[in-house]
Amino acid sequence: MKANPGGIVSPADVVGRERLIAQLWATLERQSLVLVSERRLGKTTIARKMQAEAAPDLRVIYMDIGAVSRAAELVERLAQAIRVHLGATKKATGWLAEQWSALGGLEVGGILRLPESKGPSWKVALDRLLGDLLHSTGQRTILIWDELPWALQKIARTEGEPVVVDLLDLLRSLRQTHPGLRLVYAGSIGLHHVVTGLRDEGYVNSPLEGMCVIEVPPLERSDAAGLAAALLRGEGLAAADAATAACIADLVDAIPFYIHQVVAALADQRRTATPATVAAIIAAALTAPEDPWDLHHFRSRLNEYYQNEASTVRALLDILAETQPLDLNDLHARLQTAFRPDNDRARTLLGADRAPLRNLVRLMQRDHYLDLVPGGAYRFRFDLIRRWWRCDLGLD
Ligand SMILES: Nc1ncnc2c1ncn2[C@@H]1O[C@H](COP(=O)(O)OP(=O)(O)O)[C@@H](O)[C@H]1O
Ligand SMILES: [Mg+2]
């Protein structure tokens, strides 16, 4: 297998994930699900493999909707995906053409479009399209929407947050009305950053009600080493021994994307794969000014994620980059000496009441920055990101 960081992995080349995928199928028997993780852990790879290997009685439609920025566009894309899925039989094409024209839809140059103003709204179109699809065949249907949070963020910007709330509400009601329908929402941005109301616990009418949230973890250690070994072989770096493959897996926290990156760099630089060359490649990736692994992203997204809490989050991560694990009291004490609050919210977080700080740290856990270790102390979720953070602060 060739190193292919960030590319599409064919289902046969997907390493590991058997147990997780079995768990996802079992969950889908019962309910819809939300697939979350830090970016690059392998959500898309898993979703595509599930589509490719679905049982014959299941209809699994995978859609990457990251480019969608209007609710109507989502419905158009769905119609398009259903068309591809149903295939070119006369019955199927006739069914879709009939549905689409009943909704006032058009076909322009092979692309299905909803009219901008006249005709039923995207809500009616979504409701009818899915409802009729499920009724007409009775086949159990799983719709996988990859990068949904990203699409929702764009829809919120172009059409406003109420449209996003309407969309999620309609999807919830469709899930609840049609027993044969399962939705899978996948994406790296937590939906709590998209729909403000979801951020506070206890939000009534949660659009995710009844959905099971499952986190995609790094690969299991033996699978990560297996992936590294397969890539080393595939790149003709076969001299590498098992210790080198294990070293790659360990140094990048068993995250498949970085395993591909390390082997790709070894191959590009025509270096012999040894633990020492692997360590050198990772050290270079963490400090290179071009930031080849795009690690700066973990810092630069903070403003957008946390807004007027961002300066506090940065300070907390700076503190933990220096010393970890630390419990809430230690974090609070260190914040008080090391951090100058720059707004009222930051001042509240530093106050005597620990609840606001505890909630913020919980949110950082939800966003995969932090882990709570036994005994109640916090640490970086991924050592690789902590290493980058230390380099960025000039500590290493
Ligand atoms: N199970 C796996 N086996 C082999 N390579 C993988 C696996 N999962 C992910 N990858 C690699 O990691 C990259 C990122 O994975 P991806 O599924 O796109 O992550 P996410 O969708 O969570 O951001 C892929 O392009 C591929 O190179
Ligand atoms: Mg993805």
| Residue 206 buriedness (CB in 10 A; 0-12 / 13-18 / 19+) | middle
Tally Cβ neighbours within 10 Å of residue 148.
28
Q: Is any atom of ligand 1 closer than 6 Å to the C-beta of 27? A: no
Looking at the domain assignment, is residue 327 inside a domain? yes
What is the C-alpha separation between 347 and 238, in angstroms, rounded? 56
Looking at the domain assignment, is residue 114 inside a domain? yes
Residue 147 confidence class, pLDDT cut points 50, 70, 90: very high
Q: Is any atom of ligand 1 closer than 6 Å to the C-beta of 172? A: no
Nearest residue CA, atom 15 of ligand 1? Answer: 42
Domain containing 354 equals: 297-392
Q: How many domains does the chain have?
A: 3
Tally Cβ neighbours within 10 Å of residue 276.
12
Question: What's the rounded mean pLDDT across residues 151-156?
Answer: 94
- Residue from 19, 24, 40 to probe ligand 1 pocket by mutation (most atoms less than 8 Å from CB): 40
Average pLDDT of the chain to the nearest whole number: 93
Asked if 65 and 145 touch (Cβ cutoff 8 Å), the reply is: yes
What is the C-alpha separation between 133 and 112, in angstroms, rounded? 16
**103 compared with 224, residue with greater pLDDT:** 224
Nearest residue CA, atom 23 of ligand 1? Answer: 40
**Helix or strand holding residue 60 (H, E):** strand 58-64
Looking at the domain assignment, is residue 7 inside a domain? no
Question: What's the rounded mean pLDDT across residues 315-338?
Answer: 97
> Per residue in 64-97, pLDDT tens?
999 999 999 999 999 999 989 888 788 888 888 8
Quote the ligand 1 centre to 172 CA distance (angstroms).
29
Looking at the domain assignment, is residue 103 inside a domain? yes
Question: What's the rounded mean pLDDT across residues 148-171?
Answer: 92
| CATH number for the domain harbouring residue 364 | 1.10.10
> Per residue in 200-226, pLDDT tens?
655 556 888 899 999 999 999 999 999
Quote the ligand 2 centre to 186 CA distance (angstroms).
8
Residue 195 confidence class, pLDDT cut points 50, 70, 90: confident
Helix/strand/coil for 63: strand
Which residue, of 215, 235, 266, is where some domain finishes?
A: 215
What is the C-alpha separation between 308 and 320, in angstroms, rounded? 20
- Residue from 35, 45, 48, 248 to probe ligand 1 pocket by mutation (most atoms less than 8 Å from CB): 45
Asked if 79 and 112 touch (Cβ cutoff 8 Å), the reply is: yes
Quick one: which atom of ligand 1 is closest to the CA of 14? 3
Q: Which residue has the tokens 């009818």?
A: 128
> Per residue in 133-142, pLDDT tens?
998 878 899 9
pLDDT of residue 103: 86
> Per residue in 296-307, pLDDT tens?
999 999 999 999
Quote the ligand 2 centre to 155 CA distance (angstroms).
19
Which residue, of 268, 287, 306, is where some domain finishes?
A: 287
Asked if 263 and 293 touch (Cβ cutoff 8 Å), the reply is: no
310 and 254 co-located in one domain: no
